[in-house]
Each structure stands twice: as C-alpha cells, then as structure tokens.
Amino acid sequence: MTYTISISSRKLGYFPEELLKKMKIKGKGKVVIFEDNGKWVIKPVKDIMEFAGMTKKKMPKDFDYREYMETHYNESDRF
C-alpha cells in the first residue's frame, strides 16, 4: 500500500492515521528514517536502544566513558 506524507513549510511531517495505526504509534511518537540500498525506510522507534549501532563511529569495547568525560569535559563549553 502507498501512503503520502505531507510536509509543511516548517518541515513537519503529517502521517495518515491509518499508517500510524499500522505502525502502532498512538499520540506522540518517533520514527527513524534511513536509506537501505536506495530505498527509504520508515520504522517506528519504541525506545532509545533501537538507535544502538546506527552511528558509523564505533567506540572500542574497553572505552571508559567516565575517564573520557573527566579528562575532556570543560564546564565553559556548555554555554
């Protein structure tokens, strides 16, 4: 089945109600859109962990996030 998603001048997408029901999105929700072999795929996101592995840069398994933040974080960069 084909659906048309309208995009407003503010770049907001409006999904047809039937499509939202099929994707099991009630009220507010998030989708991830990605390209797969030249085709665009829209997939509902249930939680943040579904984004795991989507970035190209991989951190080593022994990477210490706490140590990195303690040595690289600068309070003045926040503002």
Q: What is the pLDDT of residue 49?
A: 63
| For the chain, domain boundaries | 6-78
Q: Per-residue pLDDT averaged across 61-79, rounded?
A: 75
Q: What is the pLDDT of residue 11?
A: 92
| CA of residue 41 relative to chain centroid, distance | 12
Q: What are the residues whose beta carbons fall under 8 Å from the beta carbon of 15, sequence distance 6 or more?
A: 3, 5, 23, 25
Residue 78, classed as helix, strand or coil, is: helix
Write the single-letter amino acid at 71.
T
Mean pLDDT of the chain: 81
Q: What is the pLDDT of residue 79?
A: 47
Q: What are the residues whose beta carbons fall under 8 Å from the beta carbon of 21, sequence distance 6 or more?
A: none
Q: Are 6 and 13 in contact (CB under 8 A)?
A: yes
